[in-house]
Amino acid sequence: MLEVNNIEVVYNDVILVLKGISFSVPKGNIVALLGANGAGKTSLFNVISGIYRPTAGEALFEGHILNRMKPHRIAGLGVARTFQNIELFQNMTVIDNLLLGRHLHMRTGILTGALFYGRALREETAHRLKVEEIIDFLEIEKVRKKPVGSLPYGIQKRVELGRALANDPTLLLLDEPAAGMNVEETEDIARFILDIKEVLGTTVLMVEHDMGVVMDIAERVTVLDFGVMIADGTSAQVQADPKVIEAYLGEGDQEP
């Protein structure tokens, strides 16, 4: 579904952010990008989602060259993402934040939308039904009408995941979905990611620091270290790779 071929990103013609990164994401898989802070994981996400233009190489989604497209065009192809830091509208309700994720599917113009009749009413009803399905899926019914800013951090992360799902993506990019969560919240988000794959049929590429989450749910893992790919394979292969142990786990800690 996604192919990353020799991606290189250089900042200000001096700082090498990514060098020769190549890997693929098969359809229907959960693939993880692993690495310490500053390894280049979010920068690679920004290339895939059209925020950064690579200095060299290309990213292809179902044959479309993404680094020639603007972010909204990439989203329109079926690529959605969450962010490392929560990017929600804090004063808006959960429902309204999720409805924003439907904007690419909205066809009603300003005039018909203002009249809120006929096609506009039917479209609004359909989008709200879709949002309610996501609310049920993520088990956030009790907070659906509450302002996002009043919610606990873990629930806000779940709402951001819901907003990405509202775009009906075929490829979902998750940037540290479990960051800052406690053990129970982390287990919940891991369960939701598995359900996104199994129930919704969505392919997932995620950045995550929690080694336990990665090894439990990812079928393939790509490991970056200071902008260079040092490993790519199954969870078991990567976990046993000496380069990964040295760079990520530390030489003295070779247990999972």
* Domains of the chain from N-terminus onward: 1-78+169-256 (3.40.50.300), 91-167 (no CATH)
What does the pLDDT average to over 74-93? 92
In this model, does residue 105 exceed pLDDT 80?
Answer: no
Q: What is the pTM of this model?
A: 0.87
| pLDDT, the chain, mean | 88
Token pair recorded at residue 84: 């490392």
Sequence-distant (≥ 6) Cβ neighbours of residue 151 within 8 angstroms: 94, 143, 159
Contact status, residue 249 vs residue 60, Cβ threshold 8 Å: no
CA geometry: angle 98, 129, 27, nearest 5 deg: 70
Residue 175 to residue 100: CA distance in whole angstroms: 19
What pLDDT is recorded for position 245? Answer: 82
Length of the chain: 256
What does the pLDDT average to over 209-221? 88
Give the pairing type, strands 2-11 and 15-25.
Answer: antiparallel
Query: Letter for the amino acid at 72?
Result: H
What does the pLDDT average to over 218-239? 91
Token pair recorded at residue 77: 């192809």
Question: Going edge to edge, which strands form the sheet with 79-81?
Answer: 64-65, 56-61, 2-11, 15-25, 228-233, 220-225, 30-34, 203-207, 171-175, 79-81
In this model, does residue 111 exceed pLDDT 60?
Answer: no
For the chain, how big is the Rg over CA atoms in Å?
A: 19
Residue 66 to residue 50: CA distance in whole angstroms: 7
Sequence-distant (≥ 6) Cβ neighbours of residue 4 within 8 angstroms: 21, 22, 23, 24, 44, 48, 57, 59
CA distance to 24, 39, 218, 234, per residue, from 215 (Å):
18, 19, 6, 9
Tens digits of residue pLDDT in 146-184:
999 999 999 999 999 999 999 999 999 999 998 888 999
Token pair recorded at residue 182: 């406690």
* Residue that the structure tokens 């065009």 belong to: 73
Q: 114 pLDDT band (50/70/90 cuts)?
A: low
